[in-house]
Chains A and B, each alone.
Chain A
């Protein structure tokens, strides 16, 4: 591959990174903390390419300075390199198409994961929930508390969860994907909804749901997916950062 083409690919890829970092799309793929890294990396790629382009232009004006060197060192390596470099166009095209954040498909495809028991406390005692009629919680925290809290602090509490709708077999879930690092390692956290009219909910719609934990439903048999009674549900737009961390 010619230098010019390599440079253009670098500009395209660096530009694509800058674009998703600045317009917020990057949150579909990685954690918020990655934004500065993406801006830095994108800018550096563009700068490297432009320095190289500028040098080529200067060299082209003074052709006598460019010495064609014959050297048997890098040729096998060189051919190897030029082919793999073409693949840089794939992330450019993929970013251009901007695939959406992971949703129902990823939830149903993934293996269930037991929430890790809280390591800090031997007796699994959780801090008291805030007072209030309805409290907001992350799905992750809710599932963890349902699985491990022996004191039953979730019983008889109304909790508002934000997530998207997932249907599997005959059950309906409110789910969220949690990521450790990037969307490639996402694992689902979900609660099974119990209430009337669940079949009419459309998959992948984002909702805020007020739910009440059914005590004893988070067991090894249910793979620690708690069942909740649905008190109220309303559609909301997809939040800017679709994952929990």
Chain B
């Protein structure tokens, strides 16, 4: 797996020559920057509004807090893509699927990355002959139970170590249950043929270039989604009246459902979502734990990524099932660790 993300890179950036508008993204960027400089004063006067000023500060705060975590995550995922061959992982997996699923789930601990990175990695695993159920368990576990995410959760919830435990067990359980469900009920024909086709290894590149390319690709790929998360968190923070979420906090069932849906819609990178959950401090911990378990397993950007990678008929069966399983596992884990 020398070039997991990097071989996509090639397909993106050296497309077949085709007729296109002479204006490219580079020109658009230049125009945007010039416009920003010219209208700097009007942009700055936007900050005259107290509402926008507060939202802007919160937005920058989420980004500034989360980007270092994202960078650390993509560096590690790049290093794994470059220096640890997938065949090594396949060798350590037990032959029996029922056993291999939990092993793959726990292996997610050692292979950190945000959910956008784990989609190509698990596809790569399938292409290398790992059973789909096992690769899917890895897909769900890796973004949620890796050390970076757990440390971020601990930092975001100082004084609530049970949130870290709840998140770890809830997400791991989700991954294992979904892996077993797939092993029992899953059908290969739901998956697009392209997801299973084997790709010959390309060893031509030096490992360091693969490392840099994978890290850069993951960063660019997930950075945009991080911005969506930061924006949504900032806007929600100022627009939703505190009293509204206060009233939600008394209805635990409703708040669990709302937070689960919020996790799907917000689609925040798992390395940053703990901070968003921490900021919704008017809610009790259990709905926020549901948010943290559902978010890395199923959200709008992940469904889109999965539909693109594994095919639509796969994604539209897998995502709703994961959603329900994740809520159940989060509640069970929350109950067990005493959140």
Seen from chain A, the residues whose Cβ lies within 8 Å of a Cβ on chain B are 1-6, 8-10, 13, 17, 20, 26, 28-30, 34, 37-38, 40-41, 44-45, 48-49, 51-52, 55, 66-78, 80-91, 93-97, 99-102, 104-106, 109-111, 113, 180-185, 187
Q: Least Cβ distance of B228 to chain A in Å?
A: 6
Kindly state the interface size class of chain B when it binds its partner: 35 or more
Question: Within the assembled complex, what's the spacing in Å between the Cα atoms of A51 and B78?
Answer: 14
Say whether B281 contacts A78, CB under 8 Å: no
Most buried by A among B245, B276, B308: B308
Our pick among B234, B276, B304 for the contact of A80 (Cβ within 8 Å) is B304
Our pick among A13, A70, A74, A105 for the contact of B54 (Cβ within 8 Å) is A105
Given contacts A5-B26, A29-B64, A77-B8, 14 further A-B contacts (CB under 8 A): A5-B25, A6-B216, A13-B67, A30-B65, A38-B64, A68-B15, A69-B11, A70-B16, A84-B225, A85-B221, A87-B228, A99-B53, A100-B57, A180-B278
* Given known A89-B29, A109-B242, contact A49–B61 (CB-CB < 8 A): no
CB closest chain-A residue, reference B233: A184
Our pick among B28, B53, B304, B309 for the contact of A100 (Cβ within 8 Å) is B53
Question: Within the assembled complex, what's the spacing in Å between the Cα atoms of A17 and B233?
Answer: 20
Interface string of B36-68 (1 = CB under 8 A from A): 100010011001001101101111111111011
Our pick among A4, A66, A91 for the contact of B63 (Cβ within 8 Å) is A91
Question: Within the assembled complex, what's the spacing in Å between the Cα atoms of A86 and B231?
Answer: 14
What residues of chain A lie closer than 8 Å to B301, measured between beta carbons? 80, 84
The 4 closest A-B pairs by CB, nearest first: A84-B224, A183-B61, A111-B242, A76-B308
What residues of chain B lie closer than 8 Å to A183, measured between beta carbons? 57-58, 60-61
Question: Within the assembled complex, what's the spacing in Å between the Cα atoms of A91 and B220?
Answer: 13
CB closest chain-B residue, reference A2: B25
Our pick among B15, B43, B60, B220 for the contact of A95 (Cβ within 8 Å) is B60
What residues of chain A lie closer than 8 Å to B278, measured between beta carbons? 180-181, 185
Q: Least Cβ distance of A127 to chain B in Å?
A: 20
Say whether B68 contacts A182, CB under 8 Å: no
Q: Least Cβ distance of B218 to chain A in Å?
A: 10
Say whether B53 contacts A184, CB under 8 Å: no
* Given known A97-B43, A111-B282, contact A90–B220 (CB-CB < 8 A): no
Say whether A49 contacts B47, CB under 8 Å: no
* Given known A182-B61, A185-B275, contact A97–B67 (CB-CB < 8 A): no
Q: Is B215's beta carbon under 8 Å from chain A?
A: yes
Our pick among A55, A69, A94 for the contact of B56 (Cβ within 8 Å) is A94
Our pick among B57, B75, B243 for the contact of A44 (Cβ within 8 Å) is B75
CB closest chain-A residue, reference B225: A84
Our pick among B24, B59, B215, B308 for the contact of A2 (Cβ within 8 Å) is B24
Say whether A55 contacts B209, CB under 8 Å: yes
Question: Within the assembled complex, what's the spacing in Å between the Cα atoms of A93 and B34?
Answer: 12
Say whether A180 contacts B156, CB under 8 Å: yes
Say whether A29 contacts B57, CB under 8 Å: yes
What residues of chain B lie closer than 8 Å to A96, measured between beta carbons? 36
Say whether A40 contacts B71, CB under 8 Å: yes
Say whether A81 contacts B67, CB under 8 Å: no
Question: Within the assembled complex, what's the spacing in Å between the Cα atoms of A87 and B59?
Answer: 13
Our pick among B53, B216, B221, B243 for the contact of A105 (Cβ within 8 Å) is B53
What residues of chain B lie closer than 8 Å to A86, measured between beta carbons? 224
Question: Within the assembled complex, what's the spacing in Å between the Cα atoms of A74 and B8?
Answer: 6
Q: Is B93's beta carbon under 8 Å from chain A?
A: no
